[in-house]
A = this chain, B = another copy of it.
Amino acid sequence: MKRPLKQIAELVQARLLGDGDLEITNIASIQSAKPGDIIFVEDEKTLPKALQSQATAVIAGEFATKSENSKPFLISDQPRLAFARAARLLRDEQALEHGTHWTAVVDDTATVGSNVRIEEWVIVKPGVTIGDGTRVAAGCFLGDGVKVGRDCAIYPNVTIYPGTAIGDRVIVHAGAVLGSDGFGYVREHKTGRYEKFPQIGGLEIEDDVEIGANATIDRGALDVTRIGRGTKIDNLVHVGHNVQVGEDVVIAAQTGLSGSAVVENNVVIGGQVGIADHVRVESGAILGAQSGIPSNKVIRGKGVVFWGTPARPIKDYLKELAVLARLAKKEESLTSSKPGSREP
């Protein structure tokens, strides 16, 4: 959707420098920008590239006001954010048609809001409720009593087990599985065989959560697994039973949270991190990629980065790596200076 630059400035709350009547048609990266596009820069050193691009306008920070610019600018203290918001204005989802595809199987007892889109082969079981404006894409399965809020996007081939409750504006990418049984067994002492422990709890996903492709989130065993408001979960992440994830948490791809782990608000978790059962990661901690937290540990430190397995403050970990490298090097030079060694 085409918009004059000044309108974008107003809507993203940025300060306009230059000709506000120019028409902006799309967003782009600096390297792919064409006339009509708006781009963004976050630091001064990228500015020349932005000016050389074919973009019509640039979103930038205060730094861009220091020099004479050949293009109109929108000045924002969060250029990337302003750009993201401009994107939403310019790329208004082409309104998909509402309605239920004739191939979908929607139970009579389901409650479907207005402006809902239910696509091919979707299965909506008894007692399901779907809020206004939500899209359920092709091949999704919504088990008995599932609740999906307003303005959600459920991408193709998602499986939602019975009883799962999803808030508003939640995005679930293709192939994700929500509410599957947790991994819980009891070993019979005499036979050594595992018997299934009941996995009958619920799964609650709050508003504004996004869940990546092929991620899996298990229901609680007896109680509830919960994903807090605004939390973002990447592809192939695993969340075990009874896990409690707070608000505005970011969990990168392939990370795993074991049973009953607690992750408080504003935690940032890198990719392939392993969080064992009953761990508590306190508010604002940052876990580096591939780090591992053993069972029952508490990770504490707002803004502190942890790394390694077992995870420790990154400065300690780096020091250890450095010491170890030095020792290995020293050893090597000792070995090679021994009489008889090939390279004296």
Contact = CB atoms under 8 A, between A and B. Distances in A.
Interface stretch (A25-33, A44-52, A60-68, A128-136): A25-33
Given A29-B223, A139-B139, A177-B174, A253 B256 contact: yes
B186 A84 contact: yes
A216 B213 contact: yes
A73 interface: no
A276 B271 contact: yes
Nearest to A174: B159
Contacts of A328: 316, 319-320, 322-323
A6 to B, nearest CB: 21
Interface string A296-327: 00000000000011101000100111111101
Summarize A's interface: helix, strand, loop or mixed.
Answer: loop
Interface stretch (A15-23, A110-118, A193-201): A193-201
A323 B328 CA distance: 6
A309 B139 CA distance: 40
Contacts of A270: 276
Contacts of A218: 213, 235
A19 to B, nearest CB: 24
B324 A323 contact: yes
A33 to B, nearest CB: 9
Interface string A203-223: 000001010111010100111
Which are the 7 A-B pairs with shortest beta-carbon distances? A159-B174, A29-B222, A87-B198, A177-B213, A180-B213, A216-B235, A141-B156
Contacts of A183: 212, 232, 234-235, 252-253
Contacts of A32: 222-223
A257 B141 CA distance: 30
26 contacts: A27-B222, A81-B195, A84-B195, A84-B197, A91-B200, A119-B123, A123-B156, A139-B159, A155-B180, A157-B175, A171-B181, A183-B234, A185-B232, A192-B248, A193-B208, A216-B236, A234-B238, A236-B236, A253-B256, A254-B256, A274-B289, A290-B292, A290-B309, A316-B328, A319-B331, A323-B328
A240 interface: yes
A225 interface: no
A166 interface: no
A173 interface: yes
B238 A236 contact: yes
Nearest to A185: B232
A120 interface: yes
A248 B289 contact: no
Nearest to A316: B328
A80 B189 CA distance: 12
Interface in A135-182: 137-139, 141, 155-157, 159, 161, 171, 173-175, 177, 180-181
